[in-house]
Each structure stands twice: as C-alpha cells, then as structure tokens.
Structure 1
Amino acid sequence: MTQPTVLAVIPARGGSKGVPAKNLARVGGVPLVVRAVRACLASSEVTDVVVTTDAPAVAEAARAAGEALGESGRLHCVQRPEAIAGDTATSEAAVLHALDAYEAMRGRTVDVVLLVQCTSPFIAREDIDGVAAAVAHEGADTAVTVAPFHGFLWRDGSAVEDHNYGVNHDKSVRPRRQDRPEDLLETGAAYAMDAAGFRTHRHRFFGDTALVRTDPARVLEIDDPHDLARARALAPLLDPAPLPTLDDIDAVVLDFDGTQTDDRVLIDADGRETVAVHRGDGLGIAALRKAGVPLLILSTEQNPVVAARAHKLRVPVLHGIDRKDLALKQWCDEQSLAPERVMYVGNDVNDLPCFALAGWPVAVANAHDSVRAAARAVTTDPGGSGAIREIAAWLLGPTLTDASAPTD
C-alpha cells in the first residue's frame, strides 16, 4: 500500500503586534519556529515540512534546524507573498499558498496537509502523529488537537442581554466536575485536513472532524508577552532535557563574574578587588582544553583579576566589552565557528543577547530567573561552586576523559 504524502505547513510571519519577532522568540533557549520544525520532523507520519514566511531570519533559523537534524532534504522554506503576510491574513491562505508551492516544487500531490502553529511552544511529536494519522489512516476529513477543559465560561451579556450568562453551564446549577459533560478545548497547536477537501472548502474544518487529545499541561498559546514569560517559566518543567555532548558543540564561551565566581567581590582597605573561584572549574576547563575544545572567556568587566585567571587557565579572554553579543559574533567569524554550534554559559541579564546568538545557551543554577528561563540547559551547581566542572562532565563524561562514560 502506498504511503500517503503528508505535508506539515508551519506559518511563521516575521511581524507580530503582540510580541515583536514572535516566531524567533526563544523558549527553553530555542526559537519558536525551530521548536515547531523539530516536532514536525520527528513525526513518523510527516513526509515533508514547509515553513511559509516573509522573513529571511525565520527561514534561516528553520533551515539551520533542518540541517542540524540531518533533515535538510525534508525541510522547505516558501516565501510568503505580501498579500497574505499582513495581520489580517488567515492561516488558511498561507497553507493553501504553501501547498501549491510545494506541489509545484516537488512534483508530487499532497494527500494530507497539516497546519502546525509556532505559537504552541510545547507541541509534541505525538500531537502531530495523532492528527495526521486520523486523516491519513482513520477516515477523518479533518482533525484537531484538544485537551480536557473543566472551566465555567461566562459571557458579558450587557450589550445584547439583560444579564451576564453562562456559556457552558446553567448558573443556577453547579454540579460536581465528575457529574458534568466533558468539555474539550481546542489547543491551537495542530490541525490536519484532507488536502483535496481543504482546497474545496478553503477552511481547516469540514466533514468529519477527529478530536486528538493532548496533555492539558502542555496547552499554551503565545499571543502576548505574558504568555511568552509563562512559556519560558514552564520550559524547564515540560521540555525534555537532553544535555549537550561534544557532538553538539564546537566551542565553549564562558562569562566570568557569577559564572566562574559566586558573583561576590571582596575589596580591601586599598581598594583592591579579589574574587573566589572553584578548583573543580579549573580542572574542567583544563580537560576541555586538552580535548581540543576552543574556549573563550568573555566579560563586561575590565579587571586584572579576569585577565589573571584567564592567563592561569591558558584560555583567551575578551574583557571590558560593552556589547558581548557583537564580540561573540566577531570571535565566531574569526574562528570560522557557526554560532548555533557554540555553547555560551552565563548568569545575568547582560548575557541574554549572547543567549539569543548561541545555539547552546546554558545558565548556572543561581542565574537570574530571566536567564534560566532563556537557557537551553541549567546546571545543578551554582556559579563559582563547580558549574563549569559540571558542564565539562556533560561534554566529556564524569571522569573528564571519556564522553561515552556512564553518568549517575
């Protein structure tokens, strides 16, 4: 039996009124468009993925994600016409255009088309498998991800009614939750449509619609900055947390204060500053250097202690830097390194621009909340207390010599 062609379409405009450049905003250290691309490419049901966008930066991020996964042949970017790239354009219009462009480009007919939203950061492969299978194999015309919903909805009826009223309940009767009919909330994450029917109806719902249940804990749509903040706070709890290995990175860049120290400064009577560092961090850095990993210390502070520590560790240093992200980008260019293959370790808000540039942003355990939220991984040990030694163990194994060694 011929396997149906299933095309996942990810609409990802460059503009957004609620959250500027929303589809490139990072949750768990990963841009939203990349999170959607990864979920789609992980699906066993999806043949190919199309990102439809009007923004070169979005297309570049999507292509890089496909290349990093070794799936560049399945990932295609389509330039969205200006006429369907504005705030009033529908997702259906973008999907129809992408569907036509893909079929013309690949010379094959699509059987099932999916609409996958970047704004659902915790979409999982299972969600995409579920909606795709419902249409491709189980006879549904359309499918949508849903989650159990137990809330009582109210509507302000002042404009059309004498009183406010309940939408999904009779306000005069308040049954126990287990006695109420179950309501299901459309999550907004993934939709599947029979491609021929979609062309006819030009809408995501028609015919028989399958309801594909998903974990309500993962239901979140990002429409405003508050949603984005919630997603970042939830990412450490909801994201799978694979730690990086040497296969994932080509270089490690370290902040100094608060990352290699505990962020305290001791000042003597003559105004001389001293800080405390951790011997285990020195051991970890030495092991990384021995393994041939390019290293850099990058610090805002122009301080002799930073230079002295870097000299002892035999690691190059850039300090007294106002724009650490620009310095990091220049260093990557000079070293012929792709930023998406660089780990950057930091602890405070002045590290966030570097987090946006590096492919592996890592926060130490005692980092500022906003930094932890933007990180792709967070250490167990605080800065100045062995966090760098811990990171070296991620990359090289607990003995700092064998990356394949088992960990606790």
Structure 2
Amino acid sequence: MTVLAVIPARGGSKGVPAKNLAPVGGVPLVVRAVRACLAARHVTDVVVSTDDAAIADAARSAGAEVVLRPSAIAGDTATSEAAVIHAMDTFGAMRGKDADVVLLVQCTSPFITAGDIDGVTSAVTEDGADTALTVAPSHGFIWRQDSPGAGSGSDGHGVNHDKANRPRRQDRPQEYLETGAAYAMRAQGFREANHRFFGRTALVPTDPARVLEIDDPHDLARARALAPLLDPALLPTAADIDAVVLDFDGTQTDDKVFVDSDGREMVAVHRGDGLGTAALRRSGLKLLILSTERNPVVAARARKLQVPVLHGIDRKDLALKQWCDEQGVTPDRVLYVGNDVNDLPCFGLVGWPVAVASAHDAVRSAARAVTTTPGGEGAIREIAAWLLGPGLDITSSPHHHTLDQ
C-alpha cells in the first residue's frame, strides 16, 4: 500500500515571515515535519509542496521529495486541499502509480510525532475509517458572544454547556480539539469529495501538551521555549558533522573580564576545554575559533590550542559561510557553539547550532542542543564527549588559568 505524506509549505507568510523555515529547537519547521514523516512506520513516500526555492532545498536535504507548486495555488487564499491534490497528481506522474492513502501534515505544528502520523494512518489502513485526524482531549467550557466585538454590552452564552447547569467534568461527555497537525484520507475518496472529512472520520487523540499551531510571532516564541522540554534529547555524534566552530567570549570563557589598575584585561579559560579541543583536533574534525572580539587574547588562546582563528569579525555568519566554502564543508554538517545573540545568524546557517548552558535565552531556544555545563566551565569538553563517545573522560578539572588581553 502506498501511503503518501504531503507537507504544504509555501514561501509566503504574513504572520511570521519565512515561517516554514523558522527554526524551533534549532531545526526549521519544514525539516521537523519531514523527519516526523520519515520516522513514521506506515509512510512510504514524503513530498513537500512549495513555491519557494529555499524551502525546497531544506526539504530535499532532509530526505523529502519536492513538488513545485504553481502560483495559482500558492497565494493567501489557496487551500491545503488544492496543494494536496496537485501533489498527488505530480507524484502519480513521477512514479507511475497513485497513492492509496494520502496524509496532510502541517509543519506549523512543530511537536508532531511519528506516532501521531502512524496513528491517523492506521485508523484508515487498519481500522476501516475513511478519514482521520489528530485531536486533543478538552474539558473546557466554551463561550460565545452573541455580537462578536460588541464588548461587555453583549450577552455571552455557553457553546458546550448550559449556563444554568454546569455538570462536573466527569459527568460531561468527552470533547476533542482538532490539533491541525495531521490528517489521513483514502486517496480516491479525497479526490471525489475534495475535502478531508468525508465518510467515517476517526479521531486519534494526542498529547495536549504538544498541541501548538504557529500562526504569529508569539506562537513561534512559545514553541522555541517549549522545544527543550518537549523534544527528545538528541545529541550529535562524529558521524553527523565534519567541523566544529567555537565562539570565544562566554563560550570558552565565563564572559567576565578582569581589569587591573593599568587597564590591562584578562579572561579565565578552563583546562578541561583545552583537553576537549585537543581531542577534537586529533579526531580529524576541522576546527575554527570565530569571534567578534578584537583583543589579542583570542589569537593567543587559538595558538595554544593549535586551532585556526578568525577574530575581530563583525559579520560572523558571512565569515563562517566563506570559511565553509574554502574548506569544502557543507554548513549542514557544521556544529557551531555560541552563547549570545550575535551568534544567532550562525545558528541559522549550520546544521548543529549548540548553546552553552549559560547562554542567552534566545540562543538556548534557537539551539538544537544545549550543554549542561556553562561557558568557561568545561562546556567544550562536554561537547567533545558527545562527539567522541564515552571513551573521552569528561571529568572537569577544577583548575583555571588566565590569559592577558
């Protein structure tokens, strides 16, 4: 049986510009959706329908096929159904066969899981439903105003309850909220009905804690804050990357500066980080220290570590992209370690943005992984242990030494 997952991801978005490429947990929304579909046991093919070249590139790199959507069905008024039908037609022409079951998976639901996708698929392929959707159990009392926008002068009435009779939660029928994350349909029935709720519709409950649809910047901010709590712990290994790029201040230091009476500045670095960096260098991974700091302490530390350095850099993302080109390294296979907001452009460029534990909240939210150790306290050694395995001793040395600036 051919089960085709279609992920609509057009380029235009008024609420959140370039929304489908916005990173949550360090991973673009469209890539998160592709990965969930690829991990689902019952899905045989994954297609992203888009009109945007950058989204297409991201989808292909994540392992999906791409269907380029014509402008006539890519505007603000275009329906998801139209995008799915077009994707089905294009898929059939490419493969010479039609899908038996088609899924509509929304990348604006960042916490969708492979289990959610398998759940709606099984309802159709195994349980006899014609259509299925993910829902979240709801116990709330819903109200509606008679005259929307009329303010306190209008009368409010209960939608799922009588104002004069409010039964206990356990005495009320269970209700469900449509999550907007995943839908499954028998392909032929979908073509005939041209909507996603024909025939017998199965409700597939999902975890309410994971239900979030991104429509505006506030939704995106909430998703980024929740990602460290809801995403499964996933740490990189040496097989995932070709290069490690390290910020300096706040990453290899604790972001403090010591100033003596003559105005000379010093910073403290951690010996454990030096050992971790040496292990990374010996492993054959390409290394770079990249910093906006113009003081010679950065170059001095790089010389001691025997690591190439670029410092005094205003646009770190441009410097990083040029370095990747020169080294023949694909940015998707770069691990970049940072701590502050000036690292965010680099986070958007690489495949593995990593924040140290003491990083700014915005940086932690944009990271794909976060160390348990603060900057300047052994965070680099911790990352080296992720990449090189438990054979690297990560017991942090309590000793620091200082570098004159």
TM range (shorter): over 0.9
Work out the number of aligned pairs and report it.
391
Equivalent residue letter for 2:341: V
Residues 1:224 and 2:221 are matched in the alignment: no
Which of 231, 249, 270 in structure 2 is aligned with 1:278?
Answer: 270
The question of whether the paired residues in 2 share the 8 Å contact of 1:287 and 1:401 is answered with: no
Residues 1:36 and 2:28 are matched in the alignment: no
Aligned to 2:54: 57
Correspondences of 1:102-181 after superposition (within 5 Å): 102-158=91-147, 163-181=155-173
CA distance in 2, matches of 1:282, 1:42: 38
CA distance in 2, matches of 1:12, 1:296: 35
Residues 1:198 and 2:198 are matched in the alignment: no
The question of whether the paired residues in 2 share the 8 Å contact of 1:153 and 1:167 is answered with: yes
CA distance in 2, matches of 1:171, 1:58: 48
CA distance in 2, matches of 1:202, 1:164: 35
CA distance in 2, matches of 1:10, 1:156: 35
**Residues 208-227 of structure 1: per-residue CA shift (max 9 Å, x gap):** 00111111111110000111
Aligned to 1:83: 72
CA distance in 1, matches of 2:35, 2:13: 22
Please state how far the C-alpha of 1:203 moved relative to its aligned partner.
Answer: 0.5
Partner SS, residue 348 of structure 2: helix
Aligned to 1:329: 321
Identity of aligned residues (%): 78
Please state how far the C-alpha of 1:152 moved relative to its aligned partner.
Answer: 1.4
Partner SS, residue 238 of structure 2: coil
**TM-score, normalised via structure 2 length:** 0.95
Residues 1:17 and 2:14 are matched in the alignment: yes
Equivalent residue letter for 1:299: S
Aligned to 1:238: 230
CA distance in 2, matches of 1:169, 1:379: 48
The answer for unaligned runs of 5 or more in structure 1 is 67-74, 403-408
Residues 1:210 and 2:202 are matched in the alignment: yes
CA distance in 2, matches of 1:263, 1:186: 46
**TM-score, normalised via structure 1 length:** 0.94
Please state how far the C-alpha of 1:180 moved relative to its aligned partner.
Answer: 1.6
Equivalent residue letter for 2:232: P
CA RMSD of aligned residues (A): 1.4
Partner SS, residue 183 of structure 2: strand
The answer for unaligned runs of 5 or more in structure 2 is 395-405
Partner SS, residue 252 of structure 1: strand
CA distance in 2, matches of 1:401, 1:234: 31
Aligned to 1:7: 4
Query: Which is worse superposed, 156-165 or 373-382?
Result: 156-165
**Residues 148-171 of structure 1: per-residue CA shift (max 9 Å, x gap):** 011111112125996211111112
Partner SS, residue 314 of structure 2: coil
